[in-house]
């Protein structure tokens, strides 16, 4: 039976460290690290997620504010708002909640954010630094997975890591981080067009499932004893539940837990780490801005 990797516990440790760092920053600079989250529209899932971010930020000593706007907000107005936040000295981190309405160019919005305040780690400048192995603000979910591996003493050096999914948010940056010195994995990236997919995933010492398909990874796709990180959060209809659905990951949890050596649950695995790393990025951005030479 697989050992469960408790993302809630690891995230709590990260948040405690951020709170300590934020308190020291406030004592040194007379203000809290500042985070602004921009949310367009009234999507219930996005609103719930943003509220969770705000609560966690406040508890960690970060000055967080959510800027709510209708989903009809023109792109020019959103870009003007980002310009204001870029220029605001009290703002260290800017996060525009994705996805955005169809009439707004997400790439243009991401590029408009000051890379030094890009706590999502999505700006092309930060992505480039990540690929080059330079210090930068890292995308929160992949960075959170790295913290989970480190803090639960998963051996990475020389391990074969297979990343299932090639998105810009998780798959690609995850591969870049796993290749870095200090982790030193051999990395394979798989996707929907990969031939003999199960044969490839069975080679993984570390399998990161981020394909966005409920319970896609089955027991026969997992190497006995492997560490399996489930990034997926999917709603599956379930008439036995009061709300009519249940949350599940990209991994068939019950079956894979009989094969894997370690496994993250959904919920309670990667999700809490994403928010924790957002707070860590905000503190790091504040520290860098405070020590950056003027001009």
Q: Is 97 designated active site? A: yes
Q: Is 167 annotated as a binding residue?
A: yes
By residue count, the chain amounts to 295
19: burial class by Cβ within 10 Å (0-12, 13-18, 19+)?
Answer: middle
Q: Is 233 annotated as a binding residue?
A: yes
**How do 245-248 and 234-237 pair as beta strands?**
antiparallel
Alpha-carbon distances of 115 from 95, 126, 177, 210, rounded to whole Å: 11, 7, 19, 25
Q: Active-site residue among 63, 92, 97, 129?
A: 97
* Cβ–Cβ < 8 Å for 190, 161: no
* Cβ density class 233-244: b for 16+ within 10 Å, e for less: bbeeeeeeeeee
What residues have CB less than 8 Å from 108, skipping those under 6 apart? 75, 79
**Percentage helix, strand, coil, to 5, in the chain?**
45, 15, 40
**Look-up of token digits 């890009």:** 118
Q: Active-site residue among 92, 120, 205, 252?
A: 120
Q: Is 120 designated active site? A: yes
* Long-range CB contacts (within 8 A, 24+) of 233-242: 233/266, 233/267, 233/271
How far, in Å, CA of 98 to CA of 217, rounded? 26
Please report how many Cα atoms fall inside a 13 Å half-sphere around the Cα of residue 30, on the Cβ side.
1
Q: Is 192 annotated as a binding residue?
A: no
254: burial class by Cβ within 10 Å (0-12, 13-18, 19+)?
Answer: exposed
Q: Is 165 annotated as a binding residue?
A: yes
Residue ranges of the binding site for NADP(+): 165-167, 233
Known binding residues: 165-167, 233
Residues involved in catalysis = 53, 97, 120
């Amino acid at each position: 039976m697989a050992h469960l990797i408790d993302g809630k516990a690891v995230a709590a440790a990260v948040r405690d460290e951020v709170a300590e760092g934020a308190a020291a920053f406030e004592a040194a600079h007379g203000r809290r690290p500042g985070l602004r989250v921009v949310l367009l529209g009234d999507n219930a899932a996005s609103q719930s997620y943003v509220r969770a971010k705000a609560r966690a930020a406040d508890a960690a000593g970060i000055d967080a504010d959510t800027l709510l706007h209708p989903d009809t907000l023109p792109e020019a107005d959103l870009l003007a708002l980002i310009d204001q936040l870029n220029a605001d000295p009290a703002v260290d981190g800017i996060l525009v909640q994705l996805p955005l309405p169809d009439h707004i160019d997400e790439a243009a919005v991401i590029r408009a954010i000051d890379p030094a305040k890009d706590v999502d780690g999505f700006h092309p400048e930060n992505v480039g630094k990540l690929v080059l192995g330079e210090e930068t603000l890292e995308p929160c979910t992949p960075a959170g997975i790295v913290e989970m591996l480190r803090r639960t003493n998963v051996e990475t050096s020389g391990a074969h890591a297979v990343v299932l999914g090639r998105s810009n948010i998780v798959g690609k940056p995850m591969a870049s981080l796993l290749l870095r010195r200090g982790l030193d994995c051999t990395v394979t990236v798989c996707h929907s067009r990969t031939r003999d997919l199960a044969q490839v995933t069975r080679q993984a010492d570390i399998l990161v499932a981020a394909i966005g398909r409920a319970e896609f990874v089955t027991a026969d796709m997992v190497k006995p004893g492997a560490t399996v990180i489930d990034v997926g959060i999917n709603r599956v209809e379930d008439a036995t539940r009061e709300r009519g659905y249940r949350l599940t990951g990209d991994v068939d949890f019950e079956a894979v837990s009989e094969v894997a050596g370690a496994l993250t649950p959904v919920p309670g695995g990667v999700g809490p780490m994403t928010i924790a790393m957002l707070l860590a990025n905000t503190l790091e951005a504040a520290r860098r801005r405070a020590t950056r030479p003027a001009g």
